[in-house]
Chains A and B, each alone.
Chain A
Amino acid sequence: AQSVTQLGSHVSVSEGALVLLRCNYSSSVPPYLFWYVQYPNQGLQLLLKYTSAATLVKGINGFEAEFKKSETSFHLTKPSAHMSDAAEYFCAVSEGGSGGSNYKLTFGKGTLLTVNP
């Protein structure tokens, strides 16, 4: 069975500061990993994904994440926070490999990012 743990339901940073949102996963097979962002009253948008290519993945809006198999982690970072980054962020995992299926996508409970001026 696969699962996702997001450490910290709420993270607050100052504008210009480093953003670090933590995600740890468990999976019995090599995983696909995703970060999604949700702005108020909207659906989820894909930020970035890891599908067994480069372990450092770059996404939209300056975000990136690093897959660390030994730590079973996929933390999301951004060097300098902008006010527009305030949103809720979700980490998700699904089965990897040639037979992997999307319908077994499991989401974390989300981390609300607040950016202070």
Chain B
Amino acid sequence: NAGVTQTPKFRVLKTGQSMTLLCAQDMNHEYMYWYRQDPGMGLRLIHYSVGEGTTAKGEVPDGYNVSRLKKQNFLLGLESAAPSQTSVYFCASSYSRGGRPLHFGNGTRLTVT
């Protein structure tokens, strides 16, 4: 009963490096999301997807790209990491209908030096 799985759990990057965060869910959810969590800021939506092959921008999309080639996977990419992207990243998934709760992964702690 895995739920939402994020890899990796921790990562340190140097400014300008690139990386991809992987999110996988086994609940057949239509919607998937990427959030970042910063102290005192709560959770802010980066990008989301309402179905396989579709993505959309959230509140803070700059500097990130996403892809959802398969329904169960949602990838978050940083093409050229910046120190401002130091954060904890959470993936979540849900059924599409309003009122269905989000299910979260355990997060990826990213440090950009």
* Residues of A in contact with B (beta carbons under 8 Å apart): 9, 32, 34, 36, 41-46, 49, 51, 90, 94-97, 99-103, 105, 107-110
> Chain B contacts of A36 at CB under 8 A?
104
- Across the interface, name the chain B residue whose C-beta is closest to A34: B101
Residue of A45, A46, A90, A94 touching B43 (CB-CB under 8 A): A90
Instruction: Give B3-56 interface residues, CB cut-off 8 Å to A.
Output: 4, 31, 33, 40-45, 48, 50, 56
Q: Is the CB of A94 within 8 A of B98?
A: yes
Per-position binary interface string of chain B over residues 92-104, scored 1 when its CB falls under 8 Å from any chain A CB and 0 otherwise: 1011111111101
Q: Is the CB of A96 within 8 A of B90?
A: no
B48 and A103 within 8 A (CB)? yes
**Shortest Cβ distance from residue B28 to the other chain A in the assembled complex, whole angstroms:** 15
Given contacts A42-B107, A103-B31, contact A9 B98 (CB under 8 A): no
Residues of A within 8 A of B100 (CB): 102
Within the complex, what minimum Cβ distance (angstroms) separates B29 from chain A?
10
Which residues of B in the span 67-102 have a Cβ within 8 Å of any Cβ on A? 90, 92, 94-102
Is there an interface contact between B99 and A49, defined as CB atoms closer than 8 Å?
A: yes
5 new A-B pairs (CB below 8 Å) besides A42-B106, A102-B96, A103-B50?
A: A94-B99, A96-B99, A102-B95, A105-B45, A107-B44
**In the complex, chain A residues whose CB is within 8 Å of the CB of B45:** 103, 105
- Complex CA gap A96/B50 in Å reads 17
29 pairs from A and B in contact (CB 8 Å cutoff): A34-B101, A41-B107, A42-B106, A42-B107, A43-B4, A43-B92, A43-B104, A44-B102, A45-B104, A46-B102, A49-B101, A94-B98, A95-B98, A96-B98, A97-B98, A100-B97, A101-B98, A102-B31, A102-B94, A102-B97, A102-B100, A103-B31, A103-B48, A105-B45, A105-B102, A107-B42, A107-B44, A108-B42, A109-B41
